[in-house]
Amino acid sequence: MQISKINLKNNPNLTFIANFLKPYTQRAYLVGGSVRDMLLGLELFDYDIEIYDINIKDFDSVMQKLGAKGFGKNFFVYKFRNFDMALARTENKISYGHKGFEVKICNDEKLGAKRRDFTINALMINIFSGEFLDFYNGLQDLKQGILRHINDQSFQEDSLRILRAIVFASRFNFKIADETLNLMRNMDIKDLSQDRINAELYKFFQTSYLNLGYKYLQELDLEKEIFGFKGDFESLEFQNLLKEARKIIKDEALFLYLYLNFFKLNKEVFFKKTRLKKEYLKKANQAFYLNDIDDFELAKIAFDMPLKEWLGLWDEKRVEQAKKLKLYENKFESKIVTQDLIDAGFFGKALGEKLQELKENELKEYIKLNKNT
Ligand code: CTP
């Protein structure tokens, strides 16, 4: 199906911006991720608008008038509500690093779209007329679930795009086109700072198809570089675990929890190397059982949290088991009073051990009783 127009009328903020820009230009386009996500039927949070036919000086005053805030010094980019607005531009790599680009204003939509990473991210919708522009067959790739780069040279100039490809593949369950994968194999991410890498990793951790992203990380030989460790590429066991567990556990710490525990990595060393958020370390330290877990071990985890919060509750069998124990929604509430033990003369290590022993006995009783009811 060929799309030639898209109705944008049901977005009041967009209508407001279109009305505001109308006296200055007839060429302003919704671009990038917002068009892609709209066509995928996803909820939109941020919008990018690319504007033509206004010069830099006038653009600045038009944006001031709108009350938009400028950012990114050379890029003529302004923010208004959840809209990023920028003059159309071309980018030319002139020096090392992700900021080493010469930026020039551009007057041609096809050229403006050429600097973009993937065909699915180069779609444009005119915000006044609804006209749909697709210079690089992005719609077809979107329908077929393919991530394809637009231009060899500009793609290679931006190593962040390797990680972006992995994130998109993993988010949408998309395949990276062979020609793009081949190009990526000849690139490296050495010029990226750890912060930049981590920003993409945080996006990856939120995706639905972690197994696919992980497969690409391995295929592109990035696992060692990013995590300092290399899992067994031949083994599908971990990929299957990622896939199955993700269907149940939505928490963004799931990947690291499974990765660090499955491969038995030293978590402190890992977090020191990657400098990823410490809150993930806490979650990665939750109990981990690869195989079946008995009622007592499972119930013990509920000393600390309701089992629905446990990252290891990754299959239906465990969910059922937790529900049967009535520890799915609520954690186990012990009736043991620590003060009683202190009054009885326990302190320090002995106090901790006694407390644990009594709580475990109490839990065993609870399981027995619960089974009979
Ligand atoms: N873009 C690019 N190369 C990059 C970063 C961005 O080509 N290294 C282009 C893409 O066209 C992208 C758009 O700029 O769609 C907006 O970038 P960004 O907001 O980072 O990504 P989105 O595609 O909107 O994805 P997300 O949903 O993750 O924000």
Q: Going by CA atoms, what residue is nearest to atom 15 of ligand 1? A: 32
Residue 292 lies in a domain: no
User: Is 89 touching ligand 1 by the criterion CB < 6 Å?
Assistant: no
Residues spanned by the domain of 13: 1-152
For 280, the token pair is 């993930």
Segment 284-295 shows an average pLDDT of: 96
Distance from the CA of 107 to the center of ligand 1, in angstroms? 21
Pair type for strands 77-80 and 69-71: antiparallel
User: Is 158 touching ligand 1 by the criterion CB < 6 Å?
Assistant: yes
Task: Choose one of 242, 265, 285: the last residue of a domain.
Answer: 285
For 45, the token pair is 């949070």
Distance from the CA of 354 to the center of ligand 1, in angstroms? 56
Distance from the CA of 243 to the center of ligand 1, in angstroms? 26
**For the segment 186-216, what is each residue's pLDDT rounded down to a tens digit?**
999 999 999 999 999 999 999 999 999 999 9
Q: Going by CA atoms, what residue is nearest to atom 24 of ligand 1? A: 33
Segment 167-177 shows an average pLDDT of: 98
Distance from the CA of 298 to the center of ligand 1, in angstroms? 43
Q: pTM (2 decimals)? A: 0.93
pLDDT exceeding 70 applies to what percent of the chain?
A: 98
What is the radius of gyration, based on Cα positions, of the chain?
Answer: 26
Say if residue 354 is in the same domain as residue 257. Answer: no
User: Is 48 touching ligand 1 by the criterion CB < 6 Å?
Assistant: yes
What is the structure's pLDDT at 180? 98
Mean of pLDDT over the chain: 93
CA geometry: angle 58, 121, 81, nearest 5 deg: 45
Q: For residue 1, is pLDDT > 50?
A: no
**For the segment 329-363, what is each residue's pLDDT rounded down to a tens digit?**
999 999 999 999 999 999 999 999 999 999 999 99
Q: How confident is the model at residue 74 (pLDDT cuts 50, 70, 90)?
A: low
Say if residues 192 and 228 touch (Cβ distance below 8 Å).
Answer: no
Distance from the CA of 200 to the center of ligand 1, in angstroms? 12
Ligand 1 pocket test target in 117, 135, 170 with most atoms within 8 Å of CB: 117
The three-class DSSP label of residue 244 is: helix
DSSP string of 114-182?
HTSSBGGG--EEETTT-BEE-TT-HHHHHHHTEE-BS-HHHHHT-THHHHHHHHHHHHHTPEEPHHHHH
Distance from the CA of 261 to the center of ligand 1, in angstroms? 33
Residue 311 lies in a domain: no
More reliable by pLDDT, 98 or 279: 279
Atom of ligand 1 nearest to the CA of 164: 8
What is the structure's pLDDT at 11? 86
Residue 271 lies in a domain: yes
Q: Going by CA atoms, what residue is nearest to atom 18 of ligand 1? A: 33
Say if residue 255 is in the same domain as residue 193. Answer: yes
Residue 348 lies in a domain: yes
**For the segment 5-63, what is each residue's pLDDT rounded down to a tens digit?**
888 878 889 999 999 999 999 999 999 999 999 999 999 999 999 999 999 889 999 99
Q: For residue 178, is pLDDT > 60?
A: yes
Residue 319 lies in a domain: no
User: Is 161 touching ligand 1 by the criterion CB < 6 Å?
Assistant: yes
Task: Choose one of 152, 177, 207: the last residue of a domain.
Answer: 152
Q: For residue 309, is pLDDT > 70?
A: yes
What is the structure's pLDDT at 261? 97
Say if residue 69 is in the same domain as residue 183. Answer: no
Say if residue 87 is in the same domain as residue 228. Answer: no
What is the structure's pLDDT at 210? 98
Say if residue 361 is in the same domain as residue 280. Answer: no
Residue 320 lies in a domain: no
Say if residue 50 is in the same domain as residue 80. Answer: yes
User: Is 213 touching ligand 1 by the criterion CB < 6 Å?
Assistant: no
